[in-house]
Homo-oligomer: A and B are copies of this chain.
Amino acid sequence: MIECRLAEASVLKKIVEALKDLVTDAAFEFSENGLQLQAMDSSHVSLCYLQLLSTGFEHFRCDKESSLGVSLPNLAKVLKCANNDDTLTLKAKDEPDVISLVFESKKQDCIKDFDMKLMDLEQEQLAIPDTEYKSKVTIPADEFRRIIADLQVLGDTCKITAEKAGVRFAVEGDVGKANITLKPGEAADEEGGKSVNIDVEEAVELRFALRYLNYFAKATPLAESVELSMSKDVPLLVEYKMGEIGAIQYYLAPKIDEEDEE
């Protein structure tokens, strides 16, 4: 039996919004430690990994490890019915056919419960490689989203260059060329600690499909800042840390296209 309660339904709402355009069906893996989800996008180019720790829940009970196959677009529809400050309780029996979601208003005068059908999903066990990254860049999440959205209008591929002096996002397309450079910030700190942080052991320059970066940026409402970790020839890691409760990680392989290289 599974029964776990989140103080704010809005957390799961934002998580599902951050995943549902990339992944349609996914298995929520419950264990006594919490809840995780691993999936590749439908074109098998990127991988996302969600981890929610049991300690981030108001109440967390999972008697037996279970994998619950869920349609994320359907789950999104159900979560839309929650008010942002409703509590959310997830419930499932052992060997369940359905997962129950119960939203309760703070005043307890409105209770919404949903039984959502589960799906049998083939388990693809994905090994996420443990990588030491040579470059880490932390930037305000909304600034990252904005940069990706802006550049996507101008081209398909973004070259990210991380150097001690700053991080640069470059794109080239029919309209022309664009470079957006963020410098590590002190000044920015004044506005509540949202600033650019550069931790570069070895400068890197990698090229990525903007389309996927744009999908990842849907996680923006979950965190103040986003961390980009890069090393030569290994996938980019884009991570949104959600305080106590856990994190969403996205992995994307760099583009290797010698002809396009300058």
Contact = CB atoms under 8 A, between A and B. Distances in A.
Interface of A: 71, 74, 77-78, 80-81, 98, 107-117, 143, 150-151, 153-154, 174-183, 185, 187-188, 195-196
A100 to B, nearest CB: 9
A111 B178 CA distance: 11
Nearest to A114: B178
Contacts of A188: 107, 109
B77 A177 contact: no
Given A78-B154, A112-B181, A115-B177, 20 more contacts: A77-B153, A78-B175, A81-B150, A81-B180, A107-B185, A107-B188, A108-B187, A109-B183, A109-B185, A109-B188, A109-B195, A110-B143, A110-B180, A110-B181, A111-B179, A111-B181, A112-B178, A113-B179, A115-B178, A117-B174
A115 to B, nearest CB: 4
9 contacts: A98-B176, A107-B187, A109-B183, A110-B143, A111-B180, A111-B181, A112-B150, A113-B178, A115-B178
Copies of the chain in the assembly: 3
A177 B222 CA distance: 28
